Chains A and B, each alone.
Chain A
Amino acid sequence: MTNRSQLAFLALLFLILLAVPFMGSRYLTELTVQVMIFSLLALSLNILVGHIGLVSFGHAAFFAIGGYATAFFLSRWQLPLGIAMPMAVLLASIFALMIGALCVRLKAIYFAMLTLAFSMLVWGIIIKWKPVTGGDDGFVGIALPQFLSSPQNFYWFTLAVVSISTALMWVLSKSTMGQIFVAIRENETRANFLGVNVRQMQLIGFVLAALFAAVAGSLMSMYLRGMYPQSAFWTQSGHIVISVLLGGVHSFVGPILGASLLYLLEVTIHQYTQYWPLVMGLILIIVVLVLPEGLIGLFRKLYTSVRRE
């Protein structure tokens, strides 16, 4: 997809999202909130996977840190949302800086395994640190600001935060830094010879991806009125990776499509059967064998063949 068609897609999507609360269905409103949060999470991972070419299996750690920190700051320290949320995102970014500094020294599968290890470390701390995190019972009962207690208001808040985050990621992807990220993905050695400090750029990308994941985690904790250890577990990281692969890693809007479709499928299939994991396994097989470039790749092929005809 060209930049123009992707921008047109995002603009159309934004208009549709503006209309959702007026459709009169609270279910649809609530569902869209979750889809927006998961889309933001997938977009954040795509900074690493799609732009830099680093596959992280520990991205859920920053989602969880953002969520738990927001829960803690709002409920225990009773900070206003305007302070609690940025502080939570900052905390996740600091963690990302420390973890990333070690991870970006490694390549490919070693990078993926180390991120997975750190993610499980975060999960372990969440399980053990019961006075702060609630242990395996989770952090329950977040004190939300009054203005966010209605589903409609929470929807507008989520839409605003997700839209701003998406816009920032779009600007990043088109900036010089974004182009350097792509250069590293395409040929790390050549980028190095061109004077790019590859490790430093990878670390910056790692922290930025974690920052937006923390924003998604923060929103999720407020939506769920709690945060739970499963949010940091490796399966959650795997879920995000599948979302990105399903949508297509080499386009900006791909992860949005992937995350939305995956979540909507999950919700729909759950209403009829408990065999969702089987369906997700099939989706993964199809993506790997038939759709290596995801849904975006499929649309591109269809568009090309239609134009030829």
Chain B
Amino acid sequence: MPEKYILKLYILGSNAASELALKNLREIISHESNTQFDLEVIDVRRHPELAEDARILAVPTLIKKLPKPMRKIIGDLSNKQKVLHSLDLISQG
């Protein structure tokens, strides 16, 4: 049983890049049927304190809390290969 993923996506409301990031992420998750994901989407406009806590400097930002190591990714997640790699879902190369 692979480890459960805990992901946090920091976005800004209806910002185009944020929406794209969310869409891309959902797509990725839907393809990873073997992995359990726990995705939390945080709107930094509504919850600026959460952004501050997580030291988010820009959105969209995706944080992989678990499994360790923690990873922090910025951008609209449109480069699927890189995203998968960064999330250790596939080995690079």
Q: Is chain B a partner of chain A in the same complex?
A: no
Residues of A whose CB lies within 8 Å of any CB of B are: none
